[in-house]
Structure 1
């Protein structure tokens, strides 16, 4: 089974290299359904994999001058506080059985996977549908309030499901910080790296980390990123992202069906 997990890590890395993001959303389903980890541990491992992969991607983009460090730090502070607090205090205190009435039982694991499926659904739809962005003028006060509220919420979502949250962060960078698209993508990787790795730190006291598995898994994912980046030169990016979006949508439906049944 671990061999399948490592092959999955390589595939996730390829997707990240090809699309510039999104592949990390497959990490949790791979860890849960292929390798048998529970959703809480899977989310923690996903944060580490996403964090290290995003740090690598952010470094490459920084060399191309496509990372706005100042904006990234401003956006990251409220979101990584949300991630850390969620992983350290909220997730461990979610009851094992959230709801029970007659034969209907909603467990913590089922709740987290259904929430993850919902996030996958939104991620897929955001990639399929090109939203027309209306850039509005905002005052400095509105700018700061929006950053704090939006990014704390983003941090909580990332902390609960272990996904990178790029599909949530990039629109904020476009709408609020008004960064150009390429710089928004590069800056989002910087923010995701900080969010994910700091969120993972919140898990260290709550979860026994299997480092002998996690480090090779992350390294193989990095190799996949190199491979995907090379292949991307020969593939149409728009069609690739749309195809991947439909794959994520199908995965969301499968996970929902599996958890409810």
Structure 2
């Protein structure tokens, strides 16, 4: 990789990741790995740890700001993160031995599924479908305390969600917000701001743990990962300045369509 590729293009691509993360929420970081694949022509096993490093840094900044705003549910985030950190090395081990083509196809499938969910949600908002979420999940806010009321089913559900997120993070180098956000919406009655904030906290911890494990194993290309991660942090902080003014279902639709196009590009890449 040339000096320009590492310290010229990499931070620009990272800024795009941070900007998307700021504008679309916790699921936006799923585009980090495709940008590295197409922009810097890396293999998926090389791009995944770099994506995790960038996502960890950007999500940590977002989680810190959410904690200051008292929207981050840190106990739930900690439980899911511990389980995710434990599961991530399993996914990373699989990523190192699985062939590139099927792994890319799996990533394309996951990206397409996340895009489909985004498009469905955006369409509901545009139709004015504001139906209340069904309160079937095991985790509920106490009316008096305003905190989650912990019980065994709630803890087990959050732990499994965290482990699944960690497995995907290690395997594909994704933050996992596209899993965490819908899971928390189903499992809890947290408001959307708290769901996204808590997801950010989990993503930051799980991605950091997986990135550190990759670095320990010698699988992290620091000459690309560091400028990419710093660019993602800059993009997130810049995007937060105007995110509230431009967020909305139309933007979510655009993100969903873009994700579908990227998924199609990944399928094409795997077939060549």
Count of residue pairs the alignment pairs up: 247
Q: Distance in 1 between matches of 2:137 and 2:255?
A: 34
Q: Distance in 1 between matches of 2:15 and 2:52?
A: 17
Q: Aligned residue for 2:229? A: 218
Asked if the contact 1:18/1:237 (under 8 Å) is kept, the reply is no
Q: Could you say what secondary structure the match of 1:203 adopts?
A: helix
> Which of 103, 106, 118 in structure 2 is aligned with 1:115?
106
Q: Which runs of 5+ in 1 are unaligned?
A: 96-107
Q: Aligned residue for 1:134? A: 134
Q: Which runs of 5+ in 2 are unaligned?
A: 125-130, 140-150
1:61-72 alignment to 2 at 5 Å?
61-72=66-77
1:85-109 deviations in whole A, cap 9, x for unaligned?
322x3333x25xxxxxxxxxxxx11
1:172-187 alignment to 2 at 5 Å?
172-187=183-198
> Which of 153, 156, 181 in structure 1 is aligned with 2:167?
156
User: Displacement, 1:208?
Assistant: 4.4
Query: How has the CA–CA distance of structure 1 residues 209 and 258 changed in structure 2, closer, same or farther, with 3 Å as cutoff?
Result: closer
Q: Could you say what secondary structure the match of 1:188 adopts?
A: helix
1:5-59 deviations in whole A, cap 9, x for unaligned?
3322222222112222333212111212221221111101111111111000001
Q: Distance in 1 between matches of 2:67 and 2:83?
A: 22
Q: Could you say what secondary structure the match of 2:194 adopts?
A: helix
Q: Aligned residue for 1:55? A: 60
Q: Aligned residue for 1:37? A: 42
User: Displacement, 1:191?
Assistant: 0.4
User: Displacement, 1:198?
Assistant: 0.6
Moved more, 123-132 or 162-171: 123-132
- 1:86 paired to 2:91: yes
TM (norm. structure 1) is: 0.86
> Which of 38, 51, 55 in structure 2 is aligned with 1:46?
51
User: Displacement, 1:183?
Assistant: 0.5
Moved more, 25-34 or 116-125: 25-34
Query: How has the CA–CA distance of structure 1 residues 42 and 237 changed in structure 2, closer, same or farther, with 3 Å as cutoff?
Result: same
Q: Aligned residue for 2:146? A: none
User: Displacement, 1:260?
Assistant: 1.8
Q: Distance in 1 between matches of 2:219 and 2:88?
A: 19
- 1:203 paired to 2:208: no
Q: Distance in 1 between matches of 2:110 and 2:21?
A: 18
Moved more, 219-228 or 184-193: 219-228
1:138-186 deviations in whole A, cap 9, x for unaligned?
3933323323333322221121111111111112222223321110100
Moved more, 25-34 or 52-61: 25-34
Q: Aligned residue for 1:103? A: none
Asked if the contact 1:14/1:227 (under 8 Å) is kept, the reply is yes
Query: How has the CA–CA distance of structure 1 residues 188 and 233 changed in structure 2, closer, same or farther, with 3 Å as cutoff?
Result: closer
Q: Distance in 1 between matches of 2:73 and 2:182?
A: 15
User: Displacement, 1:137?
Assistant: 5.2
